[in-house]
């Protein structure tokens, strides 16, 4: 994974940058010029590639990530290694070792088992997609653009990626042209502060999280999660024999001091487990609470992670569902970002962007911003970590579907480019702002404030409403918190509205739940339906609480 020869090799590995001019950061507009200077993108069947082929020179002016062997020496726990036995015993494929002979000039290979592309029964694939600035479904139907992926586009010189390649076996990293796009996107948005970061495509973030657990954890381990978290993420861990400790949260998400307290007081004997060293967090528009960690909060969390030598898995499907500031009822809405720079600046900094150590694994997803059905995502982490993921993918998912990869490539890289993609994301931001506002306005209009409390979410798809269950008449009758939560839930269903119960999202089964919440999404229903739904929920609450 050495950097490409097109780079100024003097920059590679340099840490004292006072003597050399620091290259410019990569920007949206700088991409075409930078691509011109690069070595040619690999286009063969299952051609190997990595992010170093696509990162701009400024990356190599930064220090390298810490190695885990070294990190272990300042660990305050019994663990001597962050990788699982499974991850440590993964080796490169035997059959791939033969690939190096393929470079022999004139060689005829009868070695591999790749089918011939003449038997792939797809001649071309056309997709009709929206074009900036319209982007609306109506505009697309009328005036969208049709993008064609042909079988032999590379041979014919019309593209870097074609069906002949996409339909054959591929590399675990994903195809080079799409890997390039996500690498550039990562650099533009997050500019990781160490040099040897890598991206690899994944078959979706759910799969990447399952793999992360296999890479970092052993049966019997605890992991750290937010007190309320995405239920399926916890349910991915449990069957692997992994338990969760819930970290208390406030309106900015997980509380770093509480995390420090839990880790500093970890009692190996009482817990029957070594100290946790994996934190799973959804920093932006957290599911289910809707909380977004501020920059200051993230810095504080990162410091605790350094103190206790944690791996931070930041699961960030909602990062680009950060919305405009909330303005209640009659106030006029905040105008959208007027430039890409302003948009990027408005985004809360990611853990990746402050990761001087290389202890962050960022799970990226197209599910909430393009389509969940693609089952294509990517991760960003240090080369040492990404390499262990790739070894796992090679003998599991292999790589995301080539048909999905080429579809995304045509849209994101060849059609929109980084500029059009950011336009799309800004458009989405405004749509979600309107949706969020509908829901919060409906809450302001309908919900009984004596017992219902909320903060307008700054990102994501979810609104989290706290219910003061101690005021429920059932309490006097000796009913439990859990049974009152169920009663309210069923009463809402009776009124014709489905919300999610807060207790469904509690991963830590050792602690007692004090509060009560319900989660409502504003992602799917129209604003009229949202208003009606919240009005029904208000009716249910009034009936339940005798208001």
Bridge pairing between strands 517-521 and 462-467: antiparallel
* Alpha-helix residue ranges (DSSP H) falling in 335-416: 340-346, 383-394, 402-409
Counting contacts by CB under 8 A, is residue 151 touching a copy of itself? yes
Query: Across-strand partners of 381?
Result: 198
Shortest separation between residue 493's beta carbon and a copy of itself, angstroms:
5
Smaller CB separation from a copy of itself, 305 or 321: 321
**Given 77, 168, 491, 527, the residue binding a copy of itself (CB under 8 A):** 168
The C-alpha R_g of the chain, in whole angstroms, comes to 25
Shortest separation between residue 496's beta carbon and a copy of itself, angstroms:
5
Counting contacts by CB under 8 A, is residue 398 touching a copy of itself? yes
Counting contacts by CB under 8 A, is residue 30 touching a copy of itself? no
Shortest separation between residue 170's beta carbon and a copy of itself, angstroms:
6
Shortest separation between residue 38's beta carbon and a copy of itself, angstroms:
25
Query: For a copy of itself, what does the binding mask look like between residues 429 and 448, x meaning CB under 8 A?
Result: --x-------x---------
Residues between 110 and 149 with contacts to a copy of itself, criterion CB under 8 A: 110-116, 118-130, 135, 137, 140-141, 144, 146
Cβ atoms of 147 and 127 closer than 8 Å: yes
Counting contacts by CB under 8 A, is residue 407 touching a copy of itself? yes
Contact range with a copy of itself by CB under 8 A, out of 265-273, 331-339, 401-409, 475-483: 401-409
Q: Is 370 left (phi over 0), alpha (psi -120 to 50) or beta?
A: alpha
Spatial CA neighbour of 308 closest among 264, 255, 338: 264
Measured in Å, how far apart are the chain's first and last C-alpha atoms? 66
Residues between 229 and 258 with contacts to a copy of itself, criterion CB under 8 A: 231-232, 235-236, 238-241
Shortest separation between residue 167's beta carbon and a copy of itself, angstroms:
4
Smaller CB separation from a copy of itself, 61 or 284: 284
Shortest separation between residue 37's beta carbon and a copy of itself, angstroms:
30
Count of residues touching a copy of itself (by CB under 8 A): 115
Smaller CB separation from a copy of itself, 38 or 523: 523
Shortest separation between residue 448's beta carbon and a copy of itself, angstroms:
18
Counting contacts by CB under 8 A, is residue 401 touching a copy of itself? yes
Cβ atoms of 179 and 54 closer than 8 Å: yes
Residues between 495 and 514 with contacts to a copy of itself, criterion CB under 8 A: 496-500, 504
Residues between 366 and 395 with contacts to a copy of itself, criterion CB under 8 A: 367-376, 391, 394-395
Shortest separation between residue 87's beta carbon and a copy of itself, angstroms:
8
Structure-token pair, residue 288: 């289910």
Counting contacts by CB under 8 A, is residue 461 touching a copy of itself? yes
**Given 174, 246, 400, 502, the residue binding a copy of itself (CB under 8 A):** 400
Smaller CB separation from a copy of itself, 144 or 193: 144
3-state SS class at 69: helix
Smaller CB separation from a copy of itself, 210 or 315: 210
User: What number of other Cβ atoms are within 10 A of residue 17's Cβ?
Assistant: 13
Cα gap 97→44, rounded to integer Å = 17
Cβ atoms of 232 and 283 closer than 8 Å: no
b/e code 64-93 from CB counts within 10 Å (16+ = b):
bbbebeebeeebebeeeebbbeebeebeee
Residues present in the chain in total: 547
CA-to-CA separations, 539 to 197, 342, 451, 477, 499, in angstroms, rounded: 52, 42, 13, 22, 14
Counting contacts by CB under 8 A, is residue 44 touching a copy of itself? no
**Given 28, 59, 167, 456, the residue binding a copy of itself (CB under 8 A):** 167
3-state SS class at 98: helix
Cα gap 360→356, rounded to integer Å = 9
Residues between 172 and 211 with contacts to a copy of itself, criterion CB under 8 A: 203-204, 206-207, 210
527-545 helix and 417-446 helix, angle to the nearest 10 degrees = 30
Cβ atoms of 469 and 475 closer than 8 Å: yes
Contact range with a copy of itself by CB under 8 A, out of 66-74, 255-263, 327-335, 532-540: 532-540
Task: Give the DSSP letter of residue 480.
Answer: -
Residues between 305 and 364 with contacts to a copy of itself, criterion CB under 8 A: none
**Given 445, 470, 515, 529, the residue binding a copy of itself (CB under 8 A):** 529
Cα gap 185→132, rounded to integer Å = 18
Structure-token pair, residue 311: 């791996």
């Amino acid at each position: 994974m050495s950097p490409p020869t097109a780079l100024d090799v003097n920059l590679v590995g340099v840490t004292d940058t006072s003597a050399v001019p620091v290259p410019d950061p990569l920007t949206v507009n700088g991409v075409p010029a930078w691509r011109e200077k690069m070595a040619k993108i690999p286009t063969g069947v299952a051609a190997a590639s990595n992010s170093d082929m696509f990162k701009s020179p400024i990356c190599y002016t930064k220090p390298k990530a810490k190695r885990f062997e070294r990190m272990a020496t300042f660990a305050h726990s019994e663990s001597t290694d962050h990788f699982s036995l499974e991850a440590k015993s993964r080796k490169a494929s035997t059959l791939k070792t033969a690939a190096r002979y393929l470079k022999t000039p004139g060689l005829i290979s009868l070695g591999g088992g790749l089918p011939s592309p003449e038997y792939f029964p797809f001649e071309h694939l056309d997709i009709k997609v929206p074009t900036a600035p319209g982007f609306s479904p109506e505009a697309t139907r009328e005036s969208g653009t049709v993008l064609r992926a042909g079988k032999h586009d590379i041979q014919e010189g019309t593209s870097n990626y074609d069906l002949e390649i996409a339909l054959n076996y591929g590399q675990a990293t994903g195809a080079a042209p799409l890997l390039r796009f996500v690498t550039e996107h990562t650099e533009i948005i997050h500019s990781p502060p160490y040099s040897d970061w890598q991206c690899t495509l994944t078959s979706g973030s759910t799969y990447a999280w399952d793999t992360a657990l296999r890479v970092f954890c052993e049966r019997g381990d605890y992991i750290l999660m937010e007190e309320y978290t995405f239920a399926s993420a916890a349910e991915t861990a449990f069957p692997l024999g992994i338990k969760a400790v819930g970290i208390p949260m406030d309106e900015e998400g997980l509380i770093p001091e509480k995390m420090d307290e839990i880790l500093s007081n970890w009692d190996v004997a009482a817990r029957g487990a070594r100290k946790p060293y994996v934190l799973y967090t959804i920093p932006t528009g957290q599911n289910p609470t809707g909380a977004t960690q501020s920059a200051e909060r993230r810095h504080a969390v990162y410091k605790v992670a350094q103190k206790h030598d944690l791996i931070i898995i930041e699961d960030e499907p909602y990062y680009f569902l950060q919305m405009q500031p909330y303005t209640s009822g009659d106030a006029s809405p905040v105008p959208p970002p007027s430039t890409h720079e302003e948009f990027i600046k408005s985004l809360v900094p990611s853990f990746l962007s402050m990761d001087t150590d290389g202890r962050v694994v960022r799970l990226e997803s197209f599910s909430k911003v393009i389509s969940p059905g693609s089952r294509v995502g990517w991760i960003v982490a240090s080369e040492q970590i990404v390499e262990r993921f790739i070894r796992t993918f090679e003998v599991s998912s292999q790589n995301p579907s080539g048909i999905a990869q080429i579809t995304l490539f045509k849209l994101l890289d060849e059609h929109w480019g980084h500029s059009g993609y950011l336009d799309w994301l800004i458009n989405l931001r405004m749509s979600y702002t309107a949706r969020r506002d509908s829901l919060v306005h409906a809450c302001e209009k309908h919900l009984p404030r004596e017992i219902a409390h909320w903060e307008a979410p700054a990102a994501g798809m979810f609104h989290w409403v706290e219910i003061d269950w101690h005021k429920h008449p059932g309490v006097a009758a000796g009913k439990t918190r859990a049974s009152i939560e169920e009663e309210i839930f069923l009463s809402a269903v009776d009124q014709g509205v489905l919300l999610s119960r807060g207790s469904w999202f509690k991963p830590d089964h050792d602690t007692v739940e004090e509060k009560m919440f319900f989660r409502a999404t504003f992602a799917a229903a129209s604003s009229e339906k949202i208003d009606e739904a919240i009005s029904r929920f208000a009716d249910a609450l009034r009936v339940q609480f005798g208001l």
